[in-house]
Structure 1
Amino acid sequence: MNLNFITSQISSICSSVWNCIISLDPKVISTIVSIIALAITALTLYANTKNNKKNNFDNLFFHLISLLNKIIISSENNSEKVEITLNDIKKQNKAQLETLKSQKIKEYYEQHKLAVNSRFVELENMYLKIESKKLEKIKKSNNTTDTAVPIRKSEFLSPIDDLDEINTSDRSQVYYSYYQNNTTDEALNYPFDVSDNGIETLLRMTSFKSNPSLAIYNIFNSDGGISQFKANINVLKSEYPQNETIDKINIELSELFLHKNMNIPSEISEDMKKDIVNDILLDNKHGSYFRTVHRILKIILDFSKSEAVLNKYCGILRTQLSERHLIILFYNAQYTDRGKKFKNLVAKMNLWGDNSELDVGANSDAIHFATNNLIWKDKDLKILKEEYVRK
Structure 2
Amino acid sequence: MFGRGDLPITLPQGAQPTVIRKARLPVYADPGKAVLDALDSPVNAPPLAQLALGRKSACILICDITRPVPNRLFLRPVVETMVMAGIPLDHIIILVATGLHRPNLGEELAELVGDPWVLEHVRVLNHDARNPDDLIDLGHTAGRDTPISVNRHFLNAELRLATGLVEPHFMAGWSGGRKVVAPGVAGHETIRTFHSARFMEDPLAIQCNLVGNPLHEEQLEIVRRIGEIHAINTVIDGERRLAFVNFGEIISSHLAAVDFIAAATQIPVPRRFQTVVTSSGGYPLDKTYYQTIKSMVTPLDILAPGGTLIVASQCSEGMGSTEFANAQRRLVELGPEKFLATLTARTLAEVDEWQTEMQLRPLRIGRIKLYAPGLSPADATLTAVEVVPSLDDAIANSIAEQGDGSVAIIPEGPYVVPLFRAP
- Name the TM-score class by shorter chain: under 0.3
Q: Compare the two structures and name the one with the higher strand fraction.
A: 2
Choose 1 or 2 for highest CA Rg. Answer: 1
Structure ranking higher on relative contact order (CA contacts 8 Å, 6+ apart): 2
Q: Compare the two structures and name the one with the higher helix fraction.
A: 1
Q: TM-score, normalising length from structure 1?
A: 0.21
